[in-house]
Amino acid sequence: MDYTRKIADFVAQTRFDSIPPGALEVAKTALLDSVGVILAGSKEESARICAKLADEERSSQEATVIGQGFKSSTLMAAFSNGTAGHALDYDHSFSLMGQPTAGLVPAILVLGEKLGVNGRDILEAYVAGFEVTAKIARSLPVLSSQGGWHSVATVGSLGTAVACAKLLRLDVQAIQWTLGIASSMASGVVANFATMTKPLHAGLASRNGVLASRLAKLGFNANPTMLGEHKGFYDAYSRDLPFDLHPFEELGNSFDLIQRGIKIKPYPCGGLTHTAIDAVLKMRDQYKISPQAVESIKVGVTQHVFNTISSRLPETALQGKFSMPYILARALIDGKLVLDTFSEEAVRDPLVRSVGEKIEMALDSDLRESNEGSRPCKVTIRQKDGRTLSERVEFPRGSRQVPLSSEELRTKFTECACRALNKEAAAQVTKMLDHLEDLDHLDPLFELLIGNPS
């Protein structure tokens, strides 16, 4: 079967009125979460640097650089907003492969602004892009965890590209070209985690999606069978690891937005640490554990977590987001993890570092991840009086199995948005996104999202 053509057919035929209501509701939640973290991330240094480049190249003021107070070209706005959206590692993820849709919302917002689309068009493009991304992620379950590629930029470039192609109303052939072009742009290496280049991957995916689709619209061609071609996308990025293209047969019949959903992060750090955080917070609350009473903490994790998350104390704030000892020490001491947990000053806190030195992460061969997105971990706390407490967690808070409440979702959005907007503006943005399908014009939304530089 020509799966590149099947994807193109699905994208071309997707219509707002044919999308299940459940998928649209999840899409709206995803958009709200994404916009919030872009606004908060716009104040991070990585986003500021990208915005500086966008500012230098804003001769074409056609798309909003969110939270920065100006407009630039669609390509530079997508690049800057995409980086901002992943800068805090607070954006929602898929049940597999972390955050392969990180570049999706930034791309369709800037391209949608340029094209003058309505809210229904944005939702339509998001659903098309998410479903393609999800099927690719499911077909290559080992891509990012074993191949060394970061799915945000590899898988994400393709999914973002077809979402942009949907907004541009490209025909089937042009969508196939879009996938071919985006396949040659896809990149991103896991070794760049805990640096500014990790969120750059989302900026690249966002820009790649806009660029690939616009090139295809102008007649720029590419291999139209890239996903099934010898030495094509799968052969290149799977590195001889097994893959299965059958998930593409579900396109249009089964929606991953409903069947698997998304994970909304309650903590602004690497998602692979979240089950361990949940375990520590539960034991802290249940047993009133004092940091001073702790002799040692052992964290049993899966192979993927062991290979990806650092077992060392951080030297920088970015490293702190992927340091198991720092994150769990903070959870035990503070009883929460918030945006300010990951500042340069916070990671140098002597008490946190002293507790972190007592935390050991180890591979637990009895723990197995599932196709449903479980990230099992087992945390064992030994206290100085000899008592030992243990907690195992399978699914993190924010997943479909342990969802956040509507109030928690809105609290997260407001806290993030108010880093770039005042409370009144944040409330207006919330209302617009809650009723996105009713917006005939998006200009009022972008007038708020542009924010003010600080």
Domain segments of the chain as ranges? 3-266+409-449, 271-393
Q: Where are the alpha helices (DSSP H) in 98-154?
A: 104-115, 119-139, 143-147
Assess contact for 330 and 317: CB atoms under 8 A. no
Assess contact for 349 and 321: CB atoms under 8 A. no
The CATH architecture to which 3-266+409-449 belongs is: Orthogonal Bundle (1.10)
Task: Report the amino acid identity of residue 192.
Answer: N
Rounded to whole angstroms, how far apart are CA atoms 165 and 160? 9
Nearest residue to 98 (alpha-carbon basis) of 199, 243, 11: 199
- End-to-end, the C-alpha distance of the chain in Å comes to 53
Assess contact for 122 and 112: CB atoms under 8 A. yes
Residue 144 has what pLDDT? 45
Q: How many Cβ atoms sit within 10 Å of the Cβ of residue 222? A: 18
Residue 389 has what pLDDT? 96
The conformation of residue 363, written as its DSSP 8-state character, comes to E
Residue 335 has what pLDDT? 96
Assess contact for 71 and 113: CB atoms under 8 A. no
Rounded to whole angstroms, how far apart are CA atoms 419 and 37? 10
Nearest residue to 210 (alpha-carbon basis) of 338, 315, 115: 115
Q: Hey, what are 406's tokens? A: 């509507």
The conformation of residue 404, written as its DSSP 8-state character, comes to P
Burial 132-155 (b: 16+ CB within 10 A, else e): bbbbbbbbbbebbbebebbbbbbb
The owner of tokens 């967690």 is 393
Burial of residue 234 (number of CB atoms within 10 Å: 0-12, 13-18, 19+): buried
Rounded to whole angstroms, how far apart are CA atoms 397 and 74? 35
**How many angstroms separate the Cα of 191 from the Cα of each of 115, 147, 154, 209, 269?**
37, 11, 14, 23, 17
Q: How many Cβ atoms sit within 10 Å of the Cβ of residue 330? A: 27
Q: Hey, what are 144's tokens? A: 């990012």
**How many angstroms separate the Cα of 212 from the Cα of each of 158, 163, 173, 360, 432?**
9, 11, 13, 45, 29
pLDDT of the chain along its 454 residues, tens only? 789 999 999 999 999 999 999 999 999 999 999 999 999 999 999 999 999 999 998 778 899 999 999 999 999 999 999 999 999 999 998 876 678 889 999 999 999 999 999 999 999 999 999 999 999 988 875 544 556 788 888 999 999 999 999 999 999 999 999 999 999 999 888 888 889 999 999 999 999 999 999 999 999 999 999 987 778 888 888 777 778 888 999 999 999 999 999 999 999 999 999 999 999 999 999 999 999 999 999 999 999 899 889 999 999 999 999 999 999 999 999 999 999 999 999 999 999 999 999 999 999 989 988 777 788 999 999 999 999 999 999 999 999 899 999 999 999 999 999 999 999 999 999 999 999 999 999 999 999 999 976 5
Residue 454 has what pLDDT? 57
Q: Which residues pair with 377 in a beta bridge?
A: 393
Dihedral (CA of 296, 297, 303, 306) sign: negative
Query: Cα 67 vs. chain centroid, distance in angstroms?
Result: 19
Q: Hey, what are 404's tokens? A: 């956040």
* CATH number of the domain located at residue range(s) 271-393 in this protein: 3.30.1330.120
Residue 149 has what pLDDT? 82
Pairing of strands 359-363, 294-301: parallel
Query: Cα 36 vs. chain centroid, distance in angstroms?
Result: 12
Dihedral (CA of 161, 446, 48, 61) sign: positive
- The pTM of the full predicted model, rounded to 2 decimals, is 0.94
The owner of tokens 């791309």 is 107
The conformation of residue 189, written as its DSSP 8-state character, comes to B
CA angle, corner 158, sides to 152 and 161, nearest 5?
110
Task: Report the amino acid identity of residue 442.
Answer: L
> For residue 1, how many C-alpha atoms fall within 13 Å in the half-sphere facing its CB?
10
